[in-house]
Amino acid sequence: MLTVVPTPIGNLQDITLRALQALREADLIAAEDTRHSAILLLHHNIKKPMISLHEHNEESRTAELIEEVASGKSIVLITDAGMPGISDPGFRLIRACRERGLGISVLPGPSAVLTALVGSGLPTHAFYFGGFVPVKSGRRRAELERAIARSETSVYFESPHRLLKTLDVLAEIAPEVDVCVARELTKKFEEYRRGRPAELCIHYTSRRPKGEITLVISRGGSVVAHEPDANSESC
C-alpha cells in the first residue's frame, strides 16, 4: 500500500491523527527532503527509515518504490509541505501505482491553496489553481491575462523574489482586479494582504516580501493594450 500523507504547511501541529498513525506504521517514508521531514518526525517522536523523492530523482526512484509497494511494504509519501503531487513530487509514483493496480490511500490534510483561498475573503464558489506563476515575462503576462479573464477566482504559488514583477503586470493590465497576497500561512508571521495590484506593489516595494506566498486573484477590470502608457509608473 502507498499512503499519500499531507504534511503541515507551517505549524507542525497541523497534522491529522490518521497521518501520524500512517507515519508510525510505515515501513519506509519517501520524503521530498529527508532533512526537512526529519524535523516533523522528531517533533512527533516518530523514528522511521526515509528515502528521498524529489524533482531530480523522481523518475528513477519511482521504479524502486513501486517494487517496494508490490512486495507488500507500507510506503508513505510526503513532501516538504502540503499535499504531495500538488506542485510537488509524487505524481509519477501515484500514477505508476495506479497503472500496476497497487493499493493507494490518500489522506486529507493541509493545503496552502485552500487555506489562502478561504482566508482571502475573495469568492470561493469556484476557483482555478495554476501552480507557480510562470517565470518568463511573456508567459507570466499571458497567464495573468487568462487569470483575470476567468469568472472563477484564480490561485497561484509565487516566489517572493518575483512577486513585484507579477503585481506590476497586474497593475498594468487590470488595475481594478482584487488581489490577496497570502504569505507564511499558519506560521508566526502569517499575513493576508488584500488590495489593488498597485497598492500591493507600493506596500511590498517598501517592505520586501519574504517566505512562501500564495496569490489569489479575483476577476475585475478589463485587459488593456500590451504597451504601457507613457506616463504610467512601474514598481
Residue 208's pLDDT is 93
Residue 234's pLDDT is 55
Q: Do domains 2-106 and 112-218 have the same CATH topology?
A: no
Residue 37's pLDDT is 97
Contacts of 17 (CB under 8 A, 6+ apart): none
**pLDDT-derived band of residue 132, with 50, 70 and 90 as boundaries?**
very high
Amino acid symbol at 75: I
**pLDDT-derived band of residue 93, with 50, 70 and 90 as boundaries?**
very high
For residue 230, pLDDT beyond 50 = no
Q: Hey, which CATH number is domain 112-218, 3.40.190.10, 3.40.1080.10, 3.30.950.10, 3.40.350.10?
A: 3.30.950.10
For residue 85, pLDDT beyond 60 = yes
Residue 226's pLDDT is 41
In whole angstroms, what is the distance from residue 181 CA to residue 94 CA?
A: 31
Distances (CA, A) of 127 to 124, 145, 167, 168, 173: 6, 16, 20, 23, 21
Q: What is the mean pLDDT of residues 143-166?
A: 97
Domain ranges within the chain, ordered by starting residue: 2-106, 112-218
The pTM of this model reads 0.87
For residue 154, pLDDT beyond 60 = yes
Closest CA to 111 of 218, 214, 2, 3: 214
206's grid cell:
517598501
CATH 3.40.1010.10 fits 2-106, yes or no: yes
Are 107 and 18 spatial neighbours (Cβ–Cβ below 8 Å)?
A: yes
> Which phi and psi (to 5°) does residue 230 adopt?
-60, -30
Q: What is the pLDDT of residues 94-111, one digit of tens each?
A: 999 999 999 999 999 999
Question: Among 48-52, 158-162, 197-201, 218-222, which is the least confidently predicted range?
Answer: 218-222
In whole angstroms, what is the distance from residue 107 CA to residue 113 CA?
A: 16
Q: Grid cell 479573464 — which residue? A: 149
Contacts of 132 (CB under 8 A, 6+ apart): 87, 156, 157, 158, 159
Contacts of 15 (CB under 8 A, 6+ apart): 7, 8, 40, 44, 109, 110
69's grid cell:
509497494
